[in-house]
Amino acid sequence: MNDRKRHVIEKAHQLFIEKGFQTTSIQDILDYSGISKGTFYNYFSSKNQLLMDIFRTTFKKIEIDRNGLLFGKDPGDPEIFISQIELQMTANRENKIVPLFEEVFFSGDKELKQFIEVGQMKILRWFSDRLGDITDDICKPYLLDGAIMLNGILLQNIRFHRKANGEAASLHPVVRYSVTRILNMLEELAQSGEQLVPPEIMDQWLPVSRTEELDWRINIHSVISRMKKLDCNNTDYLKKLDFIEEEILRSSTPRKFLIDSVLLSLATVNKYELDELQALIDENLLEKA
Amino acid sequence: MNDRKRHVIEKAHQLFIEKGFQTTSIQDILDYSGISKGTFYNYFSSKNQLLMDIFRTTFKKIEIDRNGLLFGKDPGDPEIFISQIELQMTANRENKIVPLFEEVFFSGDKELKQFIEVGQMKILRWFSDRLGDITDDICKPYLLDGAIMLNGILLQNIRFHRKANGEAASLHPVVRYSVTRILNMLEELAQSGEQLVPPEIMDQWLPVSRTEELDWRINIHSVISRMKKLDCNNTDYLKKLDFIEEEILRSSTPRKFLIDSVLLSLATVNKYELDELQALIDENLLEKA
DNA sequence: TATATTTTTATACAATCGGTACAAAAAGGT
DNA sequence: ACCTTTTTGTACCGATTGTATAAAAATATA
């Protein structure tokens, strides 16, 4: 990832936070970040792809900070969970994640939509896992219900608490209040035995053991199909891309050295998609000795 | 309200449901409803105003149906409440209210934003009032909290229940489940005494006794200021509009016969705004004998 | 330092969008 | 039959996203 590209992402994010996504034109971004239109479309294939890059970098940072709070602490301590949520929600607010999500979710871009969907599933699974750390084992069948409803009441409580007490009000009491409600609710659910959604289905929504794998494979496919469009008459180029996709998606033990070689021979393409593909592979594909 | 105009509203709503608001162009609407661009802008001053008209007619219908379920029944019966919510949610789904809301809420149009905000506040107050019908009086201080959280868990539960069981799945068990959770929660809140948002603040968000009045007055102002722009050089025309606004907003007993006379003399304007203004006044301003 | 390659810029351009303007035609009322 | 209102068709405006491309600047390489 280029430093300059990172700078553009940062500046564009600032503009989106201030003015919203739709109302910020690409020209605004060019002026504010001091690059030309050509460079912009050399970095990002579209405004939506830029937004996805913003989401990616922001999420990565939030996730690291949030998990850092748990480091060395007791996972069963509800206070840690509350602090983690507070951090997550504060960061979401600062980065206007929710408004940007909603502004763009129904705009027709399938890739963006799926990206957001996966992000929300990850939050849900994290809620579910952490609630499992805190509660008794008898609550297990109701953890997903609890996560879903925690998500719901958190969003609404924060929204209206802010409406009542101003934007600057601390989130801590709201998060504690919401978590307390859900913990009580989980106890009650364990007693009454009422279940709405079975937790197993989460594996279907976002496969547990192979989560990163699946998530990553989806991205591989989308990146490669985008790359194909860049030079769709060059059969040699297309063959190489097909080989990479095939090797990664079909094989249980993809030969990374082969893929790296092919990627190297593609270096002449010199597009940001190649960087993206390389980064994806490096992050997710381990060298098999 | 013109029959033809109603037809356009209906057709446009269909398109918005199928393709979304942003991705449906005005040209699409013109083609699908078989009118010309001139006619469109004779009916609606903008695409956003058309959407507001769609919302208005849809809400009116849903509200009538929903309140009809309570007619002659016991307000304290939770089953009625559940059925009402189910109807509301089903209708919201069919009309894609939530997606349209979210798609358009962050698009910069202040009037549209406020309109949606008021609509959501009305739902919240209805939740709060109906929860008050059902629960014990000791729950009163927590009714707004309950309404807020009911709103939250309903949206999420429905969303993920649909994701798990398909779009066609009945909403009834989900709504019952959600309402049960909130009723239990209200009992628990009454015992622990924890409150997040005091119910009195609802009067501030959406004044109780004068709700319709305020809501209506805001619309009056917005319609009249729009009408002023239509012929901003005709001083006689402007004077009449000012008189109407003044008479409605400043006087505690507006003289409807006077307003009607002035409206009559404005009939030459012949714009959809005049219809809207007349309808607003007829609906909200009672004849003082 | 000189040359080759890649990146960046500036600009023109196409296509589409929401919205305005207006004259001509159609419809409707008296 | 005459006048008014509505509707139509079309041209137009400014702004938008995205493409194309030649020139300029930066960078790597020899």
- Tell me the residue length of chain B: 289
Q: Encode pLDDT of A11-54 as tens digits.
A: 999 999 998 898 899 999 999 999 999 999 999 999 999 999 99
A155/B22 Cβ within 8 A: no
Which residues of B make CB contacts under 8 Å with A?
19-23, 99-100, 102-103, 105-108, 145, 148-149, 151-157, 160-161, 163-164, 173-174, 177, 180-181, 184-185, 188, 194, 196-198, 201, 205
Dist. CA B146–CA B196, nearest whole Å: 10
Residue count of chain A: 289
Cβ-Cβ pairs closer than 8 A, A with B, add up to: 104
Residues of B in contact with A197 (CB under 8 A): 160-161, 164
**Mean pLDDT (whole number) for A215-227:** 69
What's the pLDDT at A41?
Answer: 94
> In angstroms, rounded to a whole number, what is the distance separating the alpha carbons of residues A23 and B107?
7
Q: What is the mean pLDDT of residues A82-105?
A: 92
How far A22 CA lies from chain B's nearest CA (Å)?
7
- Residue A222: pLDDT band (50, 70, 90) is low
Q: Do A102 and B102 touch (CB under 8 A)?
A: yes
> CA-to-C1' distance for B16 and C27, Å?
31
CA of B270 vs C1' of D4, distance in Å? 11
Note whether B8 and B33 are within 8 A (CB): yes
Q: What is the pLDDT of residue B140?
A: 95
Question: Per-residue pLDDT tens for B236-255?
Answer: 777 788 788 777 766 656 77
Measuring alpha carbon to C1', the residue closest to nucleotide D9 is B36
Q: For residues A255 and A261, what is the distance between their CA atoms, to the nearest angstrom?
A: 10
Handedness of CA B207, B209, B215, B217 (dihedral sign): negative
CA separation, residue A205 to residues A118, A173, A200, B58, B201 (Å): 9, 32, 9, 33, 39
Interval A80-107 mean pLDDT = 90
Instruction: Tell if the CB–CB gap between B103 and A99 is shorter than 8 Å.
Output: no
Quickly count: other Cβ atoms within 10 Å of residue A225's Cβ: 12
* Interchain proximity B153–A157, CB inside 8 Å: no
Percentage of chain A lying above the pLDDT 90 cut: 55
Q: How far is A207 from chain B (nearest CA, A)?
A: 14
Residue A148 CB neighbours (<10 A): 23
| Residue listed under structure tokens 């509350």 | A82
CA distances from A28 to A19, A31, A35, B275 (A): 10, 5, 11, 40
Secondary structure E strands in B46-150 = none
Cα–Cα dist B35/B31, whole Å: 7
pLDDT at B207: 64
Separation between Cα atoms, residue A283 and residue A45, nearest integer Å: 22
Phi, psi values for residue B36, rounded to 5°: -95, 165
CA distance A181 to A63: 24
Please check whether residue B238 is in contact with residue B232, taking contact to mean a CB–CB distance below 8 angstroms: yes
Proportion of chain A above pLDDT 70, given as a percent: 87
- How distant is C1' of D8 from CA of A248, in Å? 59
**A264 CA, D29 C1': Å apart:** 19
Of B161, B194, B201, the CB nearest to A197: B161
Q: Could B105 and A107 be called an inter-chain contact, meaning their C-beta atoms sit closer than 8 Å?
A: no
Cβ pair A194:B188 closer than 8 A: no
Q: Which residues of B touch A124 (CB under 8 A)?
A: 160
Residue B274: alpha-carbon gap to chain centroid: 21
With beta carbons less than 8 A apart as the criterion, state whether A167 and A114 touch.
Answer: no
More confident site: A184 or B263: A184
Q: Given this model, what pLDDT does residue A287 score? A: 61
HSE toward the beta carbon, residue B155, CA cutoff 13 A: 18
The full DSSP string for A64-85 is HHHHHHHTTS-TT-HHHHHHHH
The token pair at A244 is 């990479």
The yes-or-no verdict on residue A211 having pLDDT over 50 is: no
A233/D20 CA-to-C1' distance in Å: 18
Nearest to residue A100, comparing CAs of A147, A54, A63, A66? A54
Asked whether the beta carbons of A156 and A210 are under 8 A apart, the reply is no
Diameter of chain B measured on Cα atoms: 65
**Chain B partners within 8 Å of A21 (Cβ):** 106
Q: Tell me which residue of A32, A27, A37 sits closest to A8, measured CA to CA.
A: A32
User: CA geometry: angle at A93 spanning A89 and A99, to 5°?
Assistant: 115
Through-space distance between the first and last CA atoms of chain B, rounded to whole angstroms: 27
Do A20 and B106 make contact, defined as CB atoms within 8 angstroms? Answer: yes
pLDDT of residue A173: 97
Paired tokens of B116: 């949606």
Predicted pLDDT of residue B208: 56
User: What are the chain A neighbours of B201 within 8 Å (beta carbons)?
Assistant: 164
Determine the residue type at A185.
Answer: M
B17: nearest CA partner in chain A: A106
Counting as low any pLDDT under 70, the low residues of chain B are 1, 72, 107-108, 207-219, 221-222, 225-226, 229-230, 232-233, 249-253, 268-270, 286-289
Categorize the per-residue pLDDT at A289 as very low, low, confident or very high, splitting at 50, 70 and 90: very low
pLDDT of A105 above 60: yes
Using alpha carbons, select from B114, B99, B185, B113 the residue that is nearest to residue B147: B185
Q: Taking CB atoms and an 8 Å cutoff, what residues of chain B touch A149?
A: 152-153, 156-157, 181
CA separation, residue A241 to residues A232, A265, A281 (Å) = 11, 11, 13
Cβ within 8 Å, pair B22-A174: no
Contacts of B22 in chain A (CB under 8 A): 106-108
Which residue type occupies A87?
L
- Determine, for residues B196 and A188 on separate chains, whether the beta-carbon distance falls below 8 Å: no
What does each C-alpha distance from B243 to A22, A156, B119, B247 come to in angstroms? 39, 42, 29, 6
Contact positions of strand C to protein Cβ (< 7 A): 6-12, 16-23
Report CA(A161)–C1'(D8) in Å, whole number.
Answer: 52
Q: What is the CA angle A145-A146-A151, rounded to 5?
A: 100
* C-beta atoms surrounding B144 within 10 Å: 26
Count the neighbouring beta carbons within 10 Å of the beta carbon of residue B213: 13
At residue A273, the 3 state secondary structure works out as: helix
Contact between A52 and A115 under an 8 Å Cβ cutoff? The reply is yes
Q: Does residue A250 carry a pLDDT above 70?
A: no
Pairwise CA distance, residues B216 & B280, whole Å: 7
How many alpha carbons lie under 13 Å from residue A151 in its C-beta half-sphere? 24
Evaluate if residue A126 carries a pLDDT over 80. Answer: yes
| Nearest alpha-carbon partner for B256 in B232, B231, B275, B281 | B281
Dihedral, CA of residue B194, residue B151, residue B129 and residue B221, to nearest 10: 120
pLDDT at residue A186 tops 80: yes
Instruction: Summarize pLDDT for B23-71 with one digit per residue, the tens.
Output: 899 999 999 999 999 999 999 989 999 999 999 999 988 988 898 788 7
Give Rg (Cα) of chain B: 22
State the pLDDT at residue B210: 45
For the residues A61-80, what does the mean pLDDT come to?
Answer: 86
Say how far apart CA B150 and CA A40 lie, in whole Å: 45
Asked whether the beta carbons of residue B105 and residue A105 sit closer than 8 angstroms, the reply is no
Task: Give yes or no for a contact between B247 and B254, defined as CB atoms under 8 angstroms apart.
Answer: yes
Q: Is A169 helix (H, G, I), strand (E, B) or coil?
A: coil
Binding residues for strand C (Cβ < 7 Å): A 2, 4, 34-39, 42-43, 268, 270; B 24-27, 37-38, 41, 45-48
